[in-house]
């Protein structure tokens, strides 16, 4: 149980995350689940409803008890680290407003976990995937649609949600494409001629009216194309080509970044193209090793004098 005052405060913090931090709806929902679970544990742990007073007095021992409880019920280290991050963010914001000392919470260390590195496809495998996708559908317009979506993932580095979020207004594609990514952040992505041609071919073949405000990519009956449909298309293609299970739509985005870097692309520029807030995220996406990363850094920031 949590008090009404604390419930209202949590709602204000979530509004703050949404409005000022640009957090997505999915992120807000995850924050809310994490915080409510944390506060429910503290309520049981202390045997009393949690209000603004009790949570300001949470100790290091309380935090250890919560983390031990979460691990005990099978919460993975990565998920617990995410929950702890949400708790710390909330406490930092709340402490500034309520004037209490949040050190016990902020000093809590996240559990260690091994980050899963994405596995990009080799260049020839990525090209074979594009070719195979176009051959699979019996209906020519659906084949053109699938080819256009997959080309945007690999040729422009889009997330599948970003490709499927395009509307009729975005066609015909120009030299650049304005993409609204995670957290509502906008970025400009250059479009290759192959991507422009693929989308043009689909637009010409599509039997549905591609109105400016309507989804660009359509399902068979004319509704918005689902991400699951594209996942099935790429799954079928990888099985035909004998590619590993890691050859997913998202792997094509990884491949875009890795192949750009291998061709001499600048890591910072690739970060901008992908819409990453952190360079370390881009490093993971591109499967770049430490030596390659330092080579890029040395070119960008040459050391002076002995």
> What is the domain count for the chain?
2
Q: How far apart are CA 201 and CA 193, in angstroms?
A: 12
Q: How far apart are CA 19 and CA 15, in angstroms?
A: 6
Helices (H) then strands (E): counts for the chain: 15, 2
Coil vs helix vs strand at 189: strand
Residue at a domain's end among 76, 106, 136? 106
Buried b (16+ CB within 10 A) or exposed e, 92-106: ebbbeeeebebebbe
Q: Does residue 141 share a domain with residue 80?
A: no
Question: What is the pLDDT tens value at each position of the chain, 306 positions in all?
Answer: 678 888 888 899 998 888 876 677 888 888 999 999 998 898 888 887 777 778 888 899 999 999 999 999 988 888 888 899 999 999 999 888 888 888 888 998 888 766 565 577 888 888 899 899 989 888 999 999 999 999 998 888 888 889 999 999 999 998 888 888 776 677 888 888 888 999 999 999 999 999 999 999 999 999 999 999 999 999 999 999 998 888 888 888 888 877 777 676 666 667 667 766 666 666 665 655 445 555 655 655 555 443
Q: How far apart are CA 53 and CA 58, in angstroms?
A: 10
* Share in percent of the chain as helix, strand, coil (round to 5): 65, 5, 30
Coil vs helix vs strand at 96: helix
Q: How far is CA 159 from CA 1, 115, 229, 233, in A?
A: 39, 20, 15, 16
Q: Does residue 131 share a domain with residue 99?
A: no
Q: Does residue 143 share a domain with residue 79?
A: no
Answer yes or no: is 274 within a domain: yes
Residue at a domain's end among 106, 139, 173? 106
CATH number of 87's domain: 1.10.150.130
Please tell me the pTM assigned to this model.
0.59
Answer yes or no: is 223 within a domain: yes
Q: Does residue 133 share a domain with residue 74?
A: no
Residues carrying an active site annotation: 159, 182, 250, 253, 276, 285
CATH number of 291's domain: 1.10.443.10
Strands 186-190 and 176-180: antiparallel
Q: Does residue 65 share a domain with residue 154?
A: no
């Amino acid at each position: 149980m949590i008090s009404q005052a604390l419930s209202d405060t949590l709602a204000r913090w979530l509004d703050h995350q949404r409005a000022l931090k640009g957090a997505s709806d999915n992120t807000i929902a995850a924050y809310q689940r994490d915080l409510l679970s944390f506060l429910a544990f503290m309520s049981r742990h202390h045997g009393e409803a949690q209000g603004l007073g009790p949570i300001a007095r949470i100790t290091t021992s309380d935090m250890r008890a919560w983390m031990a409880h979460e691990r005990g019920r099978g919460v993975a280290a990565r998920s617990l680290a995410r929950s702890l991050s949400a708790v710390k963010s909330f406490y930092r914001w709340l402490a500034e407003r309520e004037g209490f000392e949040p050190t016990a919470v902020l000093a809590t260390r996240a559990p260690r976990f091994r980050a899963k590195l994405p596995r990009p496809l080799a260049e020839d495998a990525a090209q074979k995937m594009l070719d195979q996708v176009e051959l699979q559908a019996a209906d020519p317009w659906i084949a053109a649609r699938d080819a256009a979506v997959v080309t945007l993932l690999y040729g422009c580095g889009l997330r599948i949600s970003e490709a499927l979020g395009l509307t009729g207004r975005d066609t015909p594609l120009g030299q650049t494409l304005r993409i609204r990514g995670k957290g509502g952040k906008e970025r400009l992505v250059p479009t290759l001629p192959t991507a422009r041609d693929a989308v043009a071919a689909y637009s010409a073949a599509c039997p549905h009216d591609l109105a400016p405000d309507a989804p660009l990519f359509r399902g068979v009956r004319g509704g918005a194309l689902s991400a699951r449909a594209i996942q099935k298309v790429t799954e079928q293609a990888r099985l035909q080509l004998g590619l590993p299970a890691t050859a997913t739509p998202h792997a094509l985005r990884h491949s875009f970044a890795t192949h750009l870097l291998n061709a001499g692309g600048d890591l910072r520029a690739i970060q901008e193209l992908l819409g990453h807030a952190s360079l370390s995220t881009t490093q993971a996406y591109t499967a770049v090793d430490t030596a390659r990363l330092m080579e890029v850094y040395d070119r960008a920031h040459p050391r002076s004098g002995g």
